[in-house]
């Protein structure tokens, strides 16, 4: 069963332990902020506004960072240090040792700065921890937090949650790892009722005292092992989202071990475990009955009745099992916040998913072309692969140390051909060779993967757009009516593209050019 906890953990530094609202005594606090990206800039800007003495460090010395540094100096940063040596040690702040380090989520715990801070006994927070501590502010409404984490589906789920909350007439915004820093929302003139907070495992690693109204782990699959050191560490950081939850811990009934994470959590007395499933729901669950989304958790007589909250068709242009799961998780969070069933349906119908998430980019001559560039790991790719019958699969990229055997084995029967992009494809090719030996594998970069049989001229493997054009040409040559060409790489994009969005845009552009739709 879940463990009740009525207070946040006691922290070592007495002064830091007292910093639990915007109106606490932040003035004169010495802080090192690691990273000057979106979250780091927001943290530094907020701390300066609070009166803290702030030094900002970032290993990247580029035009964007220099502009950000100039801005922070203007508003009152004590110092900003850029360059490869910036984060090799803990600097003094205004002539004395810092009280605190606030780190950006992408910086690994093994970074020399963070390692040195731990050795000195300097507490480390993430930007989310800082945001939680300044959520309460005299004279302003304190927003409730609905927190979402998981290997895949986070952004879609917080977007759906935001839409449902807004349909209920609440002032709500999706924040966190979704792109808008929580700190920016807290300083917005709009006084939000609810924040739908997307949290990555990186952010949760440095979050110590969050106490959300409701929290959800959508799924946990192998990812970011390089950052966390092991899958066990990654899973443990994901599960931190449940700590100190007050009303509902939402979990995926269909994932083995999910309920165990809830049972192990220290929660506030009275918090409930709420499951969601794409099958028929049991007590205290949300699920699906006859293509309808139903709630057996937040109704008065849940033993014998359920509330209809929508339909499968409400969950997207191309409804998929994981899309339905995301919708049910969002509904559970919103229902925990008191939203009525009608608002769930209205919110799902109003929601418009972001680009590059199982997005139909073209359909001609019976072939569908799907952009799922957001599938940056095998678990995400499984969600989209399993939605289609016969697939020409475009895959590959930076593998982040994951294994592809389970993904390939589960989908070998539906693969008509695989077109490999990326510069780090050894693990994927090995799995395809062992577990799908009959499936043709074509390399979009001849010679890179040991396949130059097509005699095509060589292209620069790091030239993502050129590689994608070749991949689309190869896929078009294989696809027949009834097939789906699915670009779900199951890998990160930074070896050939700026990010997954550029990869997806490149795919869509190449498809339109190849099909004469441009």
Q: Is 156 annotated as a binding residue?
A: yes
Q: What is the DSSP letter of 220?
A: -
Task: Give residue 193's Cα distance to chain centre.
Answer: 23
Q: Is 445 annotated as a binding residue?
A: no
Judging by DSSP bridges, how do beta strands 53-58 and 79-82 pair with one another? Answer: parallel
Helix (H, G, I), strand (E, B) or coil at 263: helix
| Main-chain phi, psi angles of 258, to 5 degrees | -65, -45
Q: Is 155 annotated as a binding residue?
A: yes
Contact 119, 10 (CB under 8 A): no
Q: Is 411 annotated as a binding residue?
A: no
- Tokens coding 82: 């850029």
CA–CA separation, 254 and 500 (whole Å): 28
Q: Is 110 annotated as a binding residue?
A: no
Task: Give residue 314's Cα distance to chain centre.
Answer: 23
Q: Which residues are within 8 A (CB) of 169 and not within 5 positions of it... i.e. 6 or more apart?
A: 343
CA–CA separation, 139 and 122 (whole Å): 32
CA–CA separation, 83 and 89 (whole Å): 13
Q: Is 416 annotated as a binding residue?
A: no
- Tokens coding 113: 């700065």
Return the closest-CA partner of residue 495 out of 422, 435, 434: 422
Return the closest-CA partner of residue 252 out of 399, 162, 241: 241
Helix axes 341-350, 154-167, angle to 10 degrees: 120
Judging by DSSP bridges, how do beta strands 194-198 and 172-176 pair with one another? Answer: parallel
CA–CA separation, 504 and 488 (whole Å): 9
Q: Which residues of 274-287 are buried (b: 16+ CB within 10 A; e: fewer)?
A: bbbbbeebeebbbb
SS3 letters across 480-510? CCCCEEEECCCCECCCCCCCHHHHHHHHHHH
Q: Is 20 annotated as a binding residue?
A: no
How many Cβ atoms from other residues are within 10 Å of residue 139's Cβ?
Answer: 7
Task: Give residue 144's Cα distance to chain centre.
Answer: 20
- Tokens coding 441: 């594998």
Q: Which residues are part of a known binding site for ATP? A: 150-156
Query: Which residues contribute to the annotated binding site?
Result: 150-156
């Amino acid at each position: 069963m879940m463990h009740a906890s009525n207070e946040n953990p006691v922290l070592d530094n007495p002064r830091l332990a007292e910093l639990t609202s915007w109106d606490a005594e932040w003035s004169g606090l010495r802080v090192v902020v690691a990273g000057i990206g979106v979250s780091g800039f927001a943290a530094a800007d907020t701390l300066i506004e609070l009166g803290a003495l702030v030094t900002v460090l970032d290993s990247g010395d580029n035009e964007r960072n220099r502009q950000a540094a100039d801005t922070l100096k203007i508003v009152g940063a004590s110092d900003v240090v850029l360059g490869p040596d910036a984060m090799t040690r803990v600097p003094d702040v205004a002539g004395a040792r810092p009280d605190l380090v606030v780190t950006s989520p992408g910086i690994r715990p093994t970074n020399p700065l963070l390692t040195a801070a731990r050795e000195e006994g300097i507490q480390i927070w993430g930007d989310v921890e800082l945001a939680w501590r300044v959520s309460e502010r005299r004279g302003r409404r304190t927003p409730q937090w609905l927190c979402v984490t998981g290997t895949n589906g986070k952004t879609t789920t917080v977007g759906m949650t935001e839409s449902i909350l807004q349909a209920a007439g609440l002032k709500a915004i999706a924040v966190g790892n979704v792109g808008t820093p929580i700190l920016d929302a807290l300083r917005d003139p709009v006084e939000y009722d609810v924040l739908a907070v997307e949290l990555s495992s990186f952010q949760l690693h440095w979050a110590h005292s969050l106490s959300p109204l409701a929290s959800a782990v959508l799924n946990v699959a192998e990812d970011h092992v390089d950052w966390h050191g092991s899958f066990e560490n990654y899973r443990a950081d994901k599960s931190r989202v449940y700590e100190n939850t007050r009303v509902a811990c939402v979990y995926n009934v269909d994932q083995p071990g999910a309920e165990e994470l809830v049972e192990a959590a220290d929660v506030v007395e009275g918090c409930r475990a709420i499951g969601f499933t794409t099958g028929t729901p049991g007590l205290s669950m949300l699920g699906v009955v006859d293509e309808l989304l139903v709630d057996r958790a937040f109704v008065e007589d849940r033993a014998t009745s359920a509330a209809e909250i929508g339909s499968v068709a409400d969950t997207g242009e191309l409804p998929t099992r994981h899309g339905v799961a995301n919708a049910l998780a969002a509904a559970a969070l919103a229902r925990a916040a008191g939203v009525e069933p009608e608002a769930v349906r209205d919110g799902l119908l109003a929601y418009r998913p972001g680009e590059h998430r199982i997005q139909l980019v073209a359909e001609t001559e019976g072939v569908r072309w799907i952009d799922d560039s957001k599938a940056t790991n095998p678990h995400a790719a499984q969600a989209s692969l399993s939605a289609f019958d016969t697939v020409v699969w475009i895959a590959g990229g930076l593998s982040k140390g994951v294994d592809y055997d389970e993904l390939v084995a589960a989908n070998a029967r539906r693969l008509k051909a695989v077109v490999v992009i990326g510069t780090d494809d050894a693990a994927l090719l090995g799995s395809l060779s062992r577990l799908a030996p009959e499936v043709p594998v074509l390399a979009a970069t001849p010679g890179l993967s040991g396949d130059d049989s097509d005699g095509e001229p060589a292209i620069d493997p790091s030239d993502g757009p050129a590689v994608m054009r070749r991949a689309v040409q190869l896929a078009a040559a294989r696809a027949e009516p009834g097939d789906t060409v699915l670009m779900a790489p199951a890998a990160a994009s930074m070896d050939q593209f700026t990010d997954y969005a550029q990869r997806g845009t490149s795919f869509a552009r190449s498809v339109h050019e190849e099909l004469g739709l441009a």
